[in-house]
Amino acid sequence: MGATILIADDLSFMRMIQREILTERGYSIVGEATDGIDAVAKFQDLKPDLVLLDITMPNMNGLEAMRRIFSINPKAKVIMCSALGQQSLIVEAIRAGVKDFIVKPFKPERILSAIDKALRNS
C-alpha cells in the first residue's frame, strides 16, 4: 500500500480530482476534509503520511490549519494548494514549513512530483 494522504479542500470536485490522480498512482486516501477545522481533526485522528491542504477554506483557512497541524506534529508533511494570486500566503506557508505548494489549476504530474519529493525527504 502506498503512503496515506489526507485531502483538505472545500470544493468537492477538487477533492475528487486529487483523489483520482493519487489513487491511480497507488496512494491511499485516508480522509477528506471540507474546511480547516475538519482537516486538523482528521489529521489528529488518521495520522496520514501527508496532507494536501487548500489555502482558502471556510471556518478555518489552510494557513491556520497548517499551524495547528504543525503544533500537533512538527514533522508533518504538508503541501499547500492555492489559486493564482495568493503569492504572499504561499510565502508565509513555506516559511512555516510546508514541503511544497501547488498552484491551481494543476497538472497531475505537478501534484505527483510534489508528493513524491515530500515523502522522499522524510
Is the full-model pTM beyond 0.75? yes
Please state the domain extents for the chain. 4-120
Answer whether CATH 3.40.50.2300 is correct for domain 4-120. yes
Helix (H, G, I), strand (E, B) or coil at 103: strand
If we measure between CA atoms, which residue out of 11, 22, 68 comes closest to residue 42?
68
Which residues 6+ apart lie within 8 Å of 110 measured at CB? 102
User: 28-75: per-residue pLDDT in tens?
Assistant: 999 999 999 999 999 999 999 999 999 989 999 999 999 999 999 999
- Helical (H) or strand (E) element with 116: helix 108-120
